[in-house]
Amino acid sequence: MNVSLFVTCLGDQFFADACADAVRLLRHVGAEVSFPLAQTCCGQPAYNSGHRDEALRMMKHTVDVFEDADYVVLPSGSCAGMMRTLYPELAGSSPEDDPTAAETMRNATRELAARTYELSQFLATVVGVQHLGNGLDGQRVAYHHGCHALRELGVSSEPVALLRGAGARVMEWSADQECCGFGGTFSAKLPEVSAAMADHKLDTLPEVDVVTSADGGCLLQLSGRALRRSSDVPFRHLASLLWQGVTGTAESEGRT
Q: Applying CB under 8 A, which residues contact other proteins? A: 7, 9, 11-17, 19-20, 23-24, 35, 37-41, 43, 45-54, 57-58, 61, 147-148, 151-152, 178-179, 181-198, 200, 220-221, 223-225, 227-228, 254-256
Give the nearer residue to other proteins in terms of CB position, either 140 or 234.
234
Give the nearer residue to other proteins in terms of CB position, either 166 or 219.
219
Least distance from other proteins to the Cβ atom of residue 217, Å: 10
Report the C-alpha gap between 198 and 179 in whole angstroms: 8
Give the nearer residue to other proteins in terms of CB position, either 133 or 169.
133
Give the nearer residue to other proteins in terms of CB position, either 138 or 191.
191
Least distance from other proteins to the Cβ atom of residue 99, Å: 19
Least distance from other proteins to the Cβ atom of residue 227, Å: 4
Give the nearer residue to other proteins in terms of CB position, either 42 or 168.
42
Phi and psi at residue 94, in whole multiples of 5°? -70, 130
Least distance from other proteins to the Cβ atom of residue 151, Å: 4
